[in-house]
Amino acid sequence: MTQPHHSVKEQMPNRAQLRRDLLQIRKESPLALRQQWDRSIADQVIALIQQNMPQHLAVYWPIQAEPDLLQCYQELQQLGVKLALPIVVGKAQALKFVEWCPGDSMDTDSFGIPIPRNREHGIAPDMLLIPCVGFSSQNFRLGYGGGFYDRSLAQLRQAKSVGIAYQLAQTEFTPEVYDIPLTHIITELQLSI
């Protein structure tokens, strides 16, 4: 008697479980090792930015053991790159990106994430650095599940999107209909194109 065939989607863990597993693995990685990976990622980010020189680069504030590129942002600012941070404006809305320079006065949003105190100057970035909980070989991103970056990328179709993750976050999952593949993924080991 033969076993029934199961679809690939049925064999893969659900996104919520996959998200939990990947976050746990990332948080358990030793800090000293993550700091080495962060420098490698930062070097690749700087090289990519120097090749593309975006007018406005959206960056992120690291949370939950995400790659920490705060030092890299200072280096990018010294190269003349204009930076912006994302702000959550509503549950089912796209992110608002506001101009930011390292050292600016900050507030904390409802998620506990630092955001610029001066939020008046919204911009449309032409390149975004986007933290990934996970990513696939097809450059799809697994985020925290709020859909904020998905909605933002849908509005910023011309912008280049650069996923930032540790290599241990590479996994396979079935993309949802609203998922938009990222232009690049940068890990401590590679830049995917």
* Confidence at 11, pLDDT banded by 50, 70, 90: low
Confidence of residue 120 (pLDDT cuts 50, 70, 90): confident
CA neighbor of 49 nearest in space, from 77, 76, 86: 76
- Residues forming the annotated binding site? 15-19, 66, 141-149
Tell me which DSSP letter residue 112 carries: S
- Asked if residue 125 lies in contact with residue 97, where contact means CB atoms within 8 angstroms, the answer is yes
- Whether the CB-CB separation of 173 and 142 falls below 8 Å is answered with yes
Is 133 exposed, middle or buried, given 0-12, 13-18 or 19+ CB atoms closer than 10 A? Answer: buried
What whole-number distance in Å separates Cα of residue 91 and Cα of residue 28?
A: 30
Question: Binding site for ATP: what residues are annotated?
Answer: 15-19, 141-149
In tens, the pLDDT along 82-112 reads 999 999 998 889 999 999 999 999 999 988 9
What domains appear along the chain, each with residue ranges and CATH number?
Answer: 11-192 (3.40.50.10420)
Question: Nearest to residue 141, comparing CAs of 88, 182, 178?
Answer: 182
Report residue 190's pLDDT band, with 50, 70 and 90 as the boundaries: confident
The angle, 0 to 180 degrees and rounded to 10, between the axes of the packed helices 70-78 and 31-52 is 30
What pLDDT band is residue 133 in, cutting at 50, 70 and 90?
Answer: very high
- Residue length, the chain? 193
| pTM (2 d.p.) | 0.91
Question: In terms of Cα–Cα distance, which of 124, 180, 174, 130 is closest to 153?
Answer: 180
C-alpha span between 159 and 127 (Å, rounded):
5
Known binding residues for substrate: 66
The span from the CA of 140 to the CA of 185, in Å, is 9
